[in-house]
A and B are shown apart, each in its own frame.
Chain A
Amino acid sequence: MDSMIAAAARALAAGDLLGALKRVALRDDAPALALRGIAMAQLGDLARAKALLKDAARAFAPRETVAKARCIVAEAEIALVSRDLAWPPRELAAARATLEAHGDRLNAAHARLLEVRRMLLIGDLDDAARSLRELDAEPLPPALRASYEMALAGIAIRRLHTRTACDALERAAQAAHDAGIPALAAEVEGMNHVLRIPAGRLISRGGARPLLLGEVEALFASGSLVVDACRYAVREAQTVVPLATRPVLFALARVLAERWPGDASREELVSRAFRGKEADESHRARLRVEMGRLRNELRAFADISATKEGFVLAPKGDREVVVLAPPVEEEEGAVLALLADGEAWSSSALAIALGASARTVQRSLEALAQAGKVHAFGRGPARRWTIPSLPGFPSTLLLPGALPES
């Protein structure tokens, strides 16, 4: 490393961003580009940072593999924070492997945490958990430690392991405090907030009330027969019957559960499951067929019998039947749920995260925008979507040092 780069790197490490930039502003060699990229990222000019880091990665000599890999990790982090989920994850994995092979333990861990965060965002919970298990959290410095605990909490929240999530968030808060990065502490607090606001709505015997995440977890453990409209499944304790790909069966199950212990009329079943106006003879025939299918699916927990008016759900044993609905039900609930993280999303990133087509997501976004529930800014591929009412807590950049010596 040369003198000015060393001076700039020291300034950067001390948080003197302008001091760092001043020292390398006019230089276009690889380490100068990398330092300028990191400094611009910290200053919030992500577009410029991305371009500089890309140039830097290209400009390092082929044998400067560690410096190159660090630039790629920084680029990946910026892509993640910009919700550019199309950024190639294989490049990040390769950079991590390089850093691991060269004993750059901390930056390798940083790269892995970025991989885990991306998996979390696109809902690959199993992969995220597996990848996180391969990481030894013990020697991580506070900022990375906070990031690690937040990833643990993120997985636990999505899996409804409230206790695990709370414990991880407590450790994350301590680590963020130790790191002395207020934005990071705010992010932990934002996740904590999720545990204190309703995660669902319990519909039971004609009444409805909001449920916190911990209460949802307790509900699932209670042995009640739960028709889960957040995950499109019917469950009882550990047994889950997924119906996400069978919307008609799910709709029928939900109507039956909402009317339980009474019966549900043919008219209501037909109108909600088939969107038919009245239960004519062909609808009745179809209803019988679909009920037969649903009976088959739910055989382990309940029976379904015909009544004079319609059908009734008869759970085995002494179980309650309830419906767990999303806190706010709307057609575009899934899109809103993702945007609720406060970040600006591209429609293509939303499509990747939801596993839906770009066209479907676009339609949802347009509908939500007309209702004033989401805002768009930017044009063309740079267009991003946000929820205006939500306080946007920042997704803190914990960038790697760009140079092997630092």
Chain B
Amino acid sequence: MKTSKAEILREYGPFPGKDSVAGVTYDGEHMWFASGDKLNAVDTAAGEIVRSIDISAHAGTAFDGKHLFQIAEDRIQKIDPLTGQVLATIPAPGNGGDSGLAWAEGALWVGNYRGRKIHQIDPETGAVLREIESNRFVTGVTWVDGELWHATWEGDDSELRRIDPQTGEVLHRLEMPAGANVSGLESDGGSQFFCGGGGSGKIRAVRRPG
């Protein structure tokens, strides 16, 4: 297992009127983040919100190339990003204990915060396909280049962890600086992660190792 310090490349926010950041995702053009009762699209160059969708948005956010997925209470909503319309709703596997959300390989991956695990589910039905155990509270979840990463946040400590999707073994730990807690996690598909900063209202871009 490798351990290194997270390198913060840039901080976004806090954004006016948004007191916290839950899930984050990236659609190739905009970064989206959940702020309780809204999903907000951020222009990453300007660092400003360019659009918001009025929708319950309490935890993880994901993008499958066409739709946004957003956890609210104990369900996952599938949203048309153009119209803001909810197209479908499936039950969340953690029954409300759910935190992060990612899309990969035709499936949704859902972090279970205090349950310390990640569920892989069928995006059509919500049926649980697989369960990966972690030994830490799981917040954000993301896939990039075949690597499964999740964020943890326990007390004061947060880190990004790359784990083996088969065994759950921790392969790499990226320690966040003190006070920089991670609620949501998403990769931009390239060299950086976007990390939702919870109650700080910030989103931090972190260099992806390797």
A2-B183 contact given A7-B56, A66-B155, A405-B198, CB 8 Å threshold? no
Closest Cβ neighbor of B36 among chain A residues: A10
Contact with B along A100-128 (1 / 0, CB 8 A): 00110000000000000000000000000
Tally the A-B contacts, defined by beta carbons under 8 Å: 77
**Among candidates A3, A27, A66, A103, residue contacting B99 with C-beta atoms closer than 8 Å:** A3
Q: Is the CB of A63 within 8 A of B96?
A: no
Q: Is the CB of A2 within 8 A of B198?
A: no
A4 to B96 CA separation, bound complex (whole angstroms): 5
Q: B182 CB to closest chain A CB, in angstroms?
A: 12
A204 close to B (CB within 8 Å): no
**Among candidates A2, A7, A102, A405, residue contacting B114 with C-beta atoms closer than 8 Å:** A2
B189 close to A (CB within 8 Å): no
A406 to B179 CA separation, bound complex (whole angstroms): 15
Inter-chain contacts of B113 with A (CB < 8 A): 1-2
Inter-chain contacts of B58 with A (CB < 8 A): 3-4, 6-7, 10
B187 close to A (CB within 8 Å): no
Inter-chain contacts of B98 with A (CB < 8 A): 2-4
A364 close to B (CB within 8 Å): no
Interface residues on A, range: 20 to 34
A45 close to B (CB within 8 Å): no
Q: Is the CB of A2 within 8 A of B59?
A: yes
Inter-chain contacts of B156 with A (CB < 8 A): 63, 65-66, 102
**Among candidates B72, B95, B157, B183, residue contacting A63 with C-beta atoms closer than 8 Å:** B157
A3-B198 contact given A10-B36, A103-B179, CB 8 Å threshold? no
24 A-B contacts (beta carbon < 8 Å): A1-B59, A1-B113, A2-B94, A2-B97, A3-B60, A3-B94, A3-B97, A4-B58, A4-B73, A6-B58, A6-B59, A7-B73, A23-B73, A23-B96, A29-B97, A29-B114, A31-B114, A61-B154, A63-B155, A63-B156, A64-B155, A65-B155, A67-B155, A405-B199
Interface residues in chain B, defined as those with a beta carbon under 8 Å from any beta carbon in chain A: 20, 22, 36-37, 56, 58-60, 71-74, 92, 94-99, 112-114, 154-157, 179, 183, 198-199
Given A3-B74, A4-B95, A61-B155, 16 extra CB contacts under 8 A: A1-B99, A1-B198, A2-B94, A2-B112, A3-B58, A3-B59, A3-B94, A3-B96, A3-B98, A4-B74, A4-B96, A6-B58, A6-B59, A63-B154, A102-B156, A406-B199
